[in-house]
Protein backbone atom coordinates (compact mmCIF):
# COMPACT_ATOMS: atom_id res chain seq x y z
CA UNK A 1 0.00 0.00 0.00
CA UNK A 2 1.46 3.26 -1.07
CA UNK A 3 1.48 6.27 1.30
CA UNK A 4 1.03 9.76 0.02
CA UNK A 5 3.38 12.64 0.78
CA UNK A 6 1.12 14.04 3.52
CA UNK A 7 1.12 10.74 5.44
CA UNK A 8 4.88 10.41 5.13
CA UNK A 9 5.35 14.00 6.43
CA UNK A 10 3.00 13.35 9.36
CA UNK A 11 4.81 10.15 10.35
CA UNK A 12 8.14 11.93 10.08
CA UNK A 13 6.95 14.72 12.41
CA UNK A 14 5.63 12.17 14.89
CA UNK A 15 8.95 10.32 14.93
CA UNK A 16 10.90 13.54 15.45
CA UNK A 17 8.58 14.56 18.29
CA UNK A 18 8.94 11.16 19.92
CA UNK A 19 12.71 11.39 19.67
CA UNK A 20 12.73 14.84 21.27
CA UNK A 21 10.49 13.75 24.16
CA UNK A 22 12.45 10.52 24.63
CA UNK A 23 15.54 12.61 25.35
CA UNK A 24 13.77 15.13 27.65
CA UNK A 25 14.60 14.61 31.34
CA UNK A 26 11.89 12.83 33.30
CA UNK A 27 11.07 12.81 36.99
CA UNK A 28 12.83 10.09 38.93
CA UNK A 29 12.68 9.09 42.58
CA UNK A 30 15.58 10.24 44.76
CA UNK A 31 17.39 7.59 46.77
CA UNK A 32 18.92 8.12 50.19
CA UNK A 33 22.24 6.76 51.44
CA UNK A 34 20.75 3.29 51.91
CA UNK A 35 19.48 3.28 48.33
CA UNK A 36 15.92 3.67 49.56
CA UNK A 37 13.54 6.10 47.81
CA UNK A 38 12.86 9.27 49.76
CA UNK A 39 9.12 9.75 50.07
CA UNK A 40 7.96 12.89 48.27
CA UNK A 41 11.36 13.74 46.76
CA UNK A 42 11.92 13.72 43.02
CA UNK A 43 14.66 14.72 40.64
CA UNK A 44 14.56 15.87 37.03
CA UNK A 45 17.90 16.51 35.48
CA UNK A 46 19.96 18.45 38.04
CA UNK A 47 16.90 19.90 39.84
CA UNK A 48 15.26 18.48 42.96
CA UNK A 49 11.49 18.72 43.56
CA UNK A 50 9.23 18.14 46.54
CA UNK A 51 5.89 16.48 45.84
CA UNK A 52 3.27 17.77 48.26
CA UNK A 53 -0.47 17.54 48.56
CA UNK A 54 -1.60 21.13 49.07
CA UNK A 55 -5.03 22.69 49.42
CA UNK A 56 -5.73 25.29 46.75
CA UNK A 57 -6.35 28.61 48.52
CA UNK A 58 -8.97 29.68 45.95
CA UNK A 59 -11.03 26.47 45.48
CA UNK A 60 -10.33 24.48 48.64
CA UNK A 61 -9.46 21.44 46.48
CA UNK A 62 -6.36 19.43 47.23
CA UNK A 63 -3.83 19.08 44.47
CA UNK A 64 -0.48 17.41 44.14
CA UNK A 65 2.16 20.01 43.59
CA UNK A 66 5.81 19.54 42.69
CA UNK A 67 7.78 22.40 44.17
CA UNK A 68 11.35 23.11 42.98
CA UNK A 69 13.61 23.12 46.00
CA UNK A 70 15.81 26.14 46.63
CA UNK A 71 17.98 27.25 49.53
CA UNK A 72 17.55 30.35 51.69
CA UNK A 73 19.25 32.49 49.03
CA UNK A 74 16.88 31.35 46.30
CA UNK A 75 19.39 29.11 44.52
CA UNK A 76 18.57 25.50 43.55
CA UNK A 77 19.74 22.91 46.08
CA UNK A 78 22.65 20.84 44.82
CA UNK A 79 22.83 17.73 46.99
CA UNK A 80 20.44 15.06 48.23
CA UNK A 81 21.07 16.13 51.83
CA UNK A 82 20.13 19.73 51.02
CA UNK A 83 17.03 18.52 49.15
CA UNK A 84 15.87 16.41 52.10
CA UNK A 85 16.36 19.35 54.48
CA UNK A 86 14.29 21.67 52.25
CA UNK A 87 11.62 18.98 51.81
CA UNK A 88 11.23 18.69 55.58
CA UNK A 89 10.95 22.46 55.86
CA UNK A 90 8.16 22.54 53.28
CA UNK A 91 6.34 19.75 55.10
CA UNK A 92 6.50 21.80 58.29
CA UNK A 93 5.08 24.80 56.45
CA UNK A 94 2.26 22.66 55.10
CA UNK A 95 1.36 21.32 58.54
CA UNK A 96 1.40 24.86 59.93
CA UNK A 97 -0.69 26.07 56.98
CA UNK A 98 1.98 28.60 56.04
CA UNK A 99 2.72 27.51 52.50
CA UNK A 100 2.14 30.22 49.89
CA UNK A 101 -1.14 29.78 48.03
CA UNK A 102 -1.09 27.86 44.79
CA UNK A 103 -0.75 29.59 41.47
CA UNK A 104 1.79 32.05 40.14
CA UNK A 105 2.21 35.21 42.16
CA UNK A 106 2.59 38.58 40.40
CA UNK A 107 5.98 39.94 39.50
CA UNK A 108 7.30 42.60 41.83
CA UNK A 109 6.97 45.28 39.14
CA UNK A 110 3.30 44.50 38.50
CA UNK A 111 2.45 44.30 42.18
CA UNK A 112 4.32 47.52 43.00
CA UNK A 113 2.30 49.31 40.29
CA UNK A 114 -0.94 47.97 41.79
CA UNK A 115 0.19 49.04 45.26
CA UNK A 116 0.94 52.58 44.06
CA UNK A 117 -2.39 52.78 42.25
CA UNK A 118 -4.10 51.82 45.48
CA UNK A 119 -2.50 54.47 47.66
CA UNK A 120 -2.99 57.13 44.96
CA UNK A 121 -6.72 56.49 44.87
CA UNK A 122 -7.11 57.02 48.58
CA UNK A 123 -6.59 53.54 50.03
CA UNK A 124 -4.68 54.97 52.97
CA UNK A 125 -3.76 58.29 54.50
CA UNK A 126 -0.48 59.05 52.76
CA UNK A 127 0.11 62.59 51.59
CA UNK A 128 0.93 63.37 47.92
CA UNK A 129 4.53 64.24 48.78
CA UNK A 130 5.01 60.95 50.62
CA UNK A 131 3.49 59.01 47.72
CA UNK A 132 5.78 60.76 45.25
CA UNK A 133 8.87 59.84 47.28
CA UNK A 134 7.70 56.24 47.64
CA UNK A 135 7.01 55.98 43.92
CA UNK A 136 10.53 57.24 43.16
CA UNK A 137 12.05 54.67 45.53
CA UNK A 138 9.93 51.81 44.19
CA UNK A 139 11.14 52.67 40.69
CA UNK A 140 14.62 51.69 41.89
CA UNK A 141 13.28 48.44 43.35
CA UNK A 142 11.41 47.67 40.13
CA UNK A 143 14.65 48.08 38.22
CA UNK A 144 16.32 45.66 40.64
CA UNK A 145 13.55 43.12 41.23
CA UNK A 146 11.10 43.87 38.41
CA UNK A 147 10.62 40.47 36.76
CA UNK A 148 11.03 38.38 39.90
CA UNK A 149 7.77 36.97 41.29
CA UNK A 150 6.88 37.91 44.83
CA UNK A 151 7.35 34.44 46.28
CA UNK A 152 10.77 34.16 44.64
CA UNK A 153 12.26 37.28 46.24
CA UNK A 154 14.95 36.27 48.71
CA UNK A 155 16.96 38.12 51.36
CA UNK A 156 19.96 37.88 49.04
CA UNK A 157 18.13 40.02 46.47
CA UNK A 158 17.44 42.70 49.08
CA UNK A 159 20.99 42.57 50.40
CA UNK A 160 22.30 42.95 46.86
CA UNK A 161 20.29 46.12 46.36
CA UNK A 162 21.52 47.50 49.67
CA UNK A 163 25.16 46.83 48.84
CA UNK A 164 24.79 48.39 45.42
CA UNK A 165 23.30 51.56 46.90
CA UNK A 166 25.94 51.85 49.60
CA UNK A 167 28.69 51.32 47.02
CA UNK A 168 27.27 54.31 45.13
CA UNK A 169 27.85 56.47 48.26
CA UNK A 170 24.16 56.62 49.13
CA UNK A 171 23.77 57.35 52.85
CA UNK A 172 22.74 54.59 55.23
CA UNK A 173 19.70 56.63 56.23
CA UNK A 174 18.52 56.83 52.61
CA UNK A 175 19.06 53.10 52.08
CA UNK A 176 17.08 52.43 55.24
CA UNK A 177 14.20 54.45 53.77
CA UNK A 178 14.55 52.37 50.59
CA UNK A 179 14.07 49.21 52.66
CA UNK A 180 11.02 50.71 54.37
CA UNK A 181 9.41 51.41 50.97
CA UNK A 182 10.02 47.79 49.92
CA UNK A 183 8.68 46.53 53.24
CA UNK A 184 5.45 48.50 52.74
CA UNK A 185 4.76 46.71 49.45
CA UNK A 186 5.69 43.25 50.72
CA UNK A 187 3.64 43.66 53.90
CA UNK A 188 0.56 44.25 51.78
CA UNK A 189 1.44 41.21 49.65
CA UNK A 190 1.70 39.14 52.82
CA UNK A 191 -1.12 40.52 54.97
CA UNK A 192 -3.76 41.39 52.37
CA UNK A 193 -3.38 39.15 49.32
CA UNK A 194 -1.31 36.43 51.08
CA UNK A 195 1.01 36.05 48.10
CA UNK A 196 3.88 35.41 50.53
CA UNK A 197 4.13 34.17 54.09
CA UNK A 198 7.21 36.01 55.30
CA UNK A 199 9.15 39.12 54.40
CA UNK A 200 12.46 38.44 52.61
CA UNK A 201 14.31 41.10 54.59
CA UNK A 202 17.84 40.08 55.66
CA UNK A 203 18.20 39.66 59.45
CA UNK A 204 20.16 42.38 61.19
CA UNK A 205 19.64 44.88 58.39
CA UNK A 206 18.59 47.66 60.77
CA UNK A 207 21.76 47.20 62.77
CA UNK A 208 23.87 47.25 59.59
CA UNK A 209 22.21 50.46 58.40
CA UNK A 210 22.33 52.21 61.74
CA UNK A 211 23.86 55.65 61.40
CA UNK A 212 24.60 58.60 63.62
CA UNK A 213 23.12 61.88 62.51
CA UNK A 214 25.77 64.59 62.19
CA UNK A 215 25.62 67.32 64.81
CA UNK A 216 23.82 70.25 63.25
CA UNK A 217 25.60 73.58 63.58
CA UNK A 218 23.42 75.93 65.57
CA UNK A 219 21.71 78.61 63.50
CA UNK A 220 21.92 81.72 65.64
CA UNK A 221 19.58 84.72 66.10
CA UNK A 222 22.44 86.87 64.79
CA UNK A 223 22.47 84.90 61.53
CA UNK A 224 18.71 85.24 61.31
CA UNK A 225 19.00 89.01 61.61
CA UNK A 226 21.75 89.07 58.97
CA UNK A 227 19.59 87.04 56.57
CA UNK A 228 16.53 89.24 57.16
CA UNK A 229 18.54 92.42 56.69
CA UNK A 230 19.98 91.08 53.42
CA UNK A 231 16.47 90.37 52.12
CA UNK A 232 15.46 94.00 52.78
CA UNK A 233 18.63 95.50 51.25
CA UNK A 234 19.18 96.97 47.81
CA UNK A 235 21.79 95.72 45.39
CA UNK A 236 24.59 97.96 44.09
CA UNK A 237 22.41 99.03 41.17
CA UNK A 238 19.71 100.22 43.58
CA UNK A 239 17.23 97.42 42.90
CA UNK A 240 15.95 95.39 45.89
CA UNK A 241 17.61 92.06 46.66
CA UNK A 242 14.17 90.42 46.89
CA UNK A 243 10.81 91.54 45.52
CA UNK A 244 8.96 90.52 48.67
CA UNK A 245 11.44 91.39 51.41
CA UNK A 246 8.94 92.22 54.15
CA UNK A 247 6.77 89.17 53.59
CA UNK A 248 9.83 86.91 53.32
CA UNK A 249 11.38 88.17 56.58
CA UNK A 250 7.99 87.84 58.32
CA UNK A 251 7.96 84.23 57.15
CA UNK A 252 11.47 83.49 58.44
CA UNK A 253 10.87 85.09 61.82
CA UNK A 254 7.56 83.33 62.35
CA UNK A 255 9.11 79.91 61.77
CA UNK A 256 11.99 80.80 64.10
CA UNK A 257 9.62 81.96 66.86
CA UNK A 258 7.09 79.08 66.71
CA UNK A 259 8.96 76.08 65.22
CA UNK A 260 6.50 75.45 62.38
CA UNK A 261 7.65 73.69 59.24
CA UNK A 262 7.82 75.63 55.96
CA UNK A 263 4.58 74.33 54.40
CA UNK A 264 2.74 74.47 57.72
CA UNK A 265 3.66 78.14 57.98
CA UNK A 266 2.54 78.94 54.44
CA UNK A 267 -0.89 77.46 55.21
CA UNK A 268 -1.56 79.56 58.34
CA UNK A 269 -4.74 81.67 58.40
CA UNK A 270 -5.49 84.62 60.62
CA UNK A 271 -8.26 82.50 62.10
CA UNK A 272 -5.48 80.28 63.49
CA UNK A 273 -4.13 83.17 65.59
CA UNK A 274 -5.90 83.55 68.94
CA UNK A 275 -4.64 86.78 70.51
CA UNK A 276 -7.03 86.42 73.46
CA UNK A 277 -5.73 83.00 74.50
CA UNK A 278 -2.29 83.81 73.14
CA UNK A 279 -2.06 80.65 71.06
CA UNK A 280 -1.21 79.83 67.46
CA UNK A 281 -2.87 76.74 65.94
CA UNK A 282 -0.75 74.98 63.34
CA UNK A 283 -2.42 72.60 60.91
CA UNK A 284 -6.02 73.42 61.83
CA UNK A 285 -7.07 71.63 58.63
CA UNK A 286 -4.98 68.56 59.54
CA UNK A 287 -2.41 69.39 56.88
CA UNK A 288 0.68 68.63 58.95
CA UNK A 289 3.35 65.97 58.73
CA UNK A 290 1.44 63.67 61.07
CA UNK A 291 -2.02 64.95 60.02
CA UNK A 292 -2.68 66.34 63.50
CA UNK A 293 -3.13 69.97 64.49
CA UNK A 294 -1.24 71.48 67.42
CA UNK A 295 -1.11 74.72 69.35
CA UNK A 296 1.93 76.81 70.21
CA UNK A 297 1.64 79.10 73.20
CA UNK A 298 2.84 82.63 72.60
CA UNK A 299 6.34 83.46 73.73
CA UNK A 300 7.23 87.19 73.84
CA UNK A 301 8.97 87.17 70.44
CA UNK A 302 6.11 85.27 68.77
CA UNK A 303 3.45 87.54 70.26
CA UNK A 304 5.20 90.75 69.26
CA UNK A 305 5.88 89.47 65.76
CA UNK A 306 2.25 88.46 65.16
CA UNK A 307 1.05 91.83 66.46
CA UNK A 308 3.41 93.57 64.03
CA UNK A 309 2.25 91.33 61.16
CA UNK A 310 -1.39 92.08 61.96
CA UNK A 311 -0.74 95.78 61.30
CA UNK A 312 0.51 94.82 57.81
CA UNK A 313 -2.28 92.33 57.14
CA UNK A 314 -3.70 92.32 53.60
CA UNK A 315 -7.37 93.30 53.98
CA UNK A 316 -8.53 91.03 51.15
CA UNK A 317 -6.92 87.78 52.34
CA UNK A 318 -7.43 85.25 55.12
CA UNK A 319 -3.81 84.05 54.90
CA UNK A 320 -0.84 85.22 56.92
CA UNK A 321 1.20 84.93 53.71
CA UNK A 322 -1.12 85.60 50.76
CA UNK A 323 0.20 84.97 47.27
CA UNK A 324 1.29 88.16 45.48
CA UNK A 325 -0.15 86.61 42.28
CA UNK A 326 -3.49 85.56 43.81
CA UNK A 327 -5.63 87.84 41.61
CA UNK A 328 -9.32 87.25 42.32
CA UNK A 329 -8.55 84.00 44.15
CA UNK A 330 -7.54 84.08 47.79
CA UNK A 331 -4.61 81.64 47.89
CA UNK A 332 -1.48 81.58 50.00
CA UNK A 333 2.08 81.93 48.75
CA UNK A 334 3.54 78.71 47.37
CA UNK A 335 7.24 79.16 48.14
CA UNK A 336 9.89 81.64 49.22
CA UNK A 337 12.74 79.51 47.86
CA UNK A 338 14.00 82.08 45.37
CA UNK A 339 14.00 84.82 48.00
CA UNK A 340 16.01 82.62 50.35
CA UNK A 341 18.67 81.95 47.74
CA UNK A 342 18.96 85.64 46.80
CA UNK A 343 19.15 86.81 50.43
CA UNK A 344 21.65 84.11 51.37
CA UNK A 345 23.94 85.03 48.48
CA UNK A 346 23.71 88.74 49.27
CA UNK A 347 24.45 88.12 52.96
CA UNK A 348 27.38 85.81 52.08
CA UNK A 349 26.53 83.42 54.89
CA UNK A 350 26.76 79.64 55.05
CA UNK A 351 24.12 77.45 53.43
CA UNK A 352 21.03 77.53 55.63
CA UNK A 353 17.51 76.42 54.80
CA UNK A 354 14.00 76.97 56.06
CA UNK A 355 14.27 73.99 58.40
CA UNK A 356 17.06 75.79 60.24
CA UNK A 357 14.42 78.21 61.55
CA UNK A 358 12.65 75.27 63.20
CA UNK A 359 15.96 74.09 64.66
CA UNK A 360 16.63 77.57 66.00
CA UNK A 361 13.30 77.49 67.84
CA UNK A 362 13.88 74.04 69.33
CA UNK A 363 17.48 74.83 70.28
CA UNK A 364 16.63 77.98 72.18
CA UNK A 365 13.69 76.28 73.90
CA UNK A 366 16.13 73.63 75.13
CA UNK A 367 18.68 76.22 76.26
CA UNK A 368 15.92 78.18 77.99
CA UNK A 369 15.24 75.17 80.19
CA UNK A 370 11.85 74.20 78.68
CA UNK A 371 11.10 70.54 79.34
CA UNK A 372 11.35 68.26 76.31
CA UNK A 373 7.73 67.10 76.51
CA UNK A 374 6.43 70.66 76.17
CA UNK A 375 8.77 71.41 73.27
CA UNK A 376 7.64 68.19 71.56
CA UNK A 377 4.02 69.27 71.94
CA UNK A 378 4.76 72.66 70.35
CA UNK A 379 6.65 71.24 67.36
CA UNK A 380 4.42 68.22 66.73
CA UNK A 381 6.60 65.31 67.87
CA UNK A 382 4.56 62.36 69.13
CA UNK A 383 7.37 60.73 71.11
CA UNK A 384 7.05 62.92 74.18
CA UNK A 385 10.43 64.58 73.63
CA UNK A 386 12.66 61.54 73.08
CA UNK A 387 13.95 62.75 69.71
CA UNK A 388 14.58 66.24 71.07
CA UNK A 389 16.59 64.73 73.92
CA UNK A 390 18.69 62.70 71.48
CA UNK A 391 19.34 65.48 68.96
CA UNK A 392 19.44 68.57 71.17
CA UNK A 393 20.43 67.21 74.59
CA UNK A 394 24.03 68.33 74.10
CA UNK A 395 22.81 71.93 73.88
CA UNK A 396 21.42 71.72 77.40
CA UNK A 397 24.76 70.38 78.68
CA UNK A 398 26.68 73.14 76.89
CA UNK A 399 24.31 75.77 78.15
CA UNK A 400 24.43 74.62 81.79
CA UNK A 401 28.23 74.46 81.75
CA UNK A 402 28.37 78.01 80.43
CA UNK A 403 25.88 79.16 83.06
CA UNK A 404 27.93 77.48 85.80
CA UNK A 405 30.81 79.82 85.04
CA UNK A 406 28.59 82.77 85.97
CA UNK A 407 28.05 81.60 89.57
CA UNK A 408 29.80 84.10 91.87
CA UNK A 409 30.32 83.48 95.59
CA UNK A 410 32.25 86.69 96.12
CA UNK A 411 36.03 87.45 96.35
CA UNK A 412 36.45 86.08 99.86
CA UNK A 413 35.11 82.63 98.92
CA UNK A 414 37.19 82.58 95.74
CA UNK A 415 40.34 83.43 97.63
CA UNK A 416 39.70 80.73 100.22
CA UNK A 417 38.91 78.16 97.52
CA UNK A 418 42.21 78.95 95.79
CA UNK A 419 44.12 77.76 98.87
CA UNK A 420 42.66 74.24 98.73
The values of phi and psi at residue 18, to 5°, are: -65, -40
**pLDDT recorded at residue 410:** 74
* pLDDT per residue as tens digits for the range 24-58: 568 889 888 888 888 888 898 889 988 877 655 44
Instruction: Give the end-to-end CA distance of the chain in Å, rounded to a whole number.
Output: 131
- Within 146-238, residue ranges assigned H as helices are 155-167, 172-191, 205-208, 221-232
The length of the chain in residues reads 420
Architecture of the domain made up of 108-208: Orthogonal Bundle (1.10)
**pLDDT recorded at residue 193:** 78
To the question of domain 221-354 being in CATH 2.60.40, the answer is no
Report domain extents, the chain. 23-95, 108-208, 221-354
E strand or H helix that includes residue 311: helix 300-311
pTM recorded for the entire structure:
0.61
The SS3 assignment for 204 reads coil
**pLDDT recorded at residue 245:** 93
**pLDDT recorded at residue 69:** 87
CB 69 within 8 A of CB 49: yes
Calpha distance 101→271 (Å, rounded): 55
* pLDDT per residue as tens digits for the range 130-168: 888 999 999 999 999 989 999 899 999 999 999 999 999
**pLDDT recorded at residue 156:** 92
Stretches in the chain below the pLDDT threshold 50? 1, 9, 12-14, 16-22, 57-58
Burial 304-334 (b: 16+ CB within 10 A, else e): ebbeebeeeeeeebebbbbbeeeeeeeebbe
**Nearest to 302, CA basis, from 278, 267, 321:** 278
CB atoms within 10 A of CB 146: 13
Angle between helices 372-379 and 355-367 (to 10 degrees): 160
* pLDDT per residue as tens digits for the range 272-309: 999 999 999 999 877 677 678 899 999 999 999 999 99
Amino acid sequence: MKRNASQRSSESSTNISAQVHSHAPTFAKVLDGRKQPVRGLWQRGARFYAQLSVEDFSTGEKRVRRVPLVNSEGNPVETVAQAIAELNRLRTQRSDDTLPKLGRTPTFADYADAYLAGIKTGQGTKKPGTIAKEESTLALWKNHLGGIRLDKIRPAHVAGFMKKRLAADISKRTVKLDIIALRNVLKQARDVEEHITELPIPPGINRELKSTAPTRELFTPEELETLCQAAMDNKTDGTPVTKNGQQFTDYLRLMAYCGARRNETLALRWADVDFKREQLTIGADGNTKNSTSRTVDFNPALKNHLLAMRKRRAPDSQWLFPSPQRGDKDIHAMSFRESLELARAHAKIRHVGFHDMRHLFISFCVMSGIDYMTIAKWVGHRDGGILIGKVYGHLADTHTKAQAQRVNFGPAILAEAANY
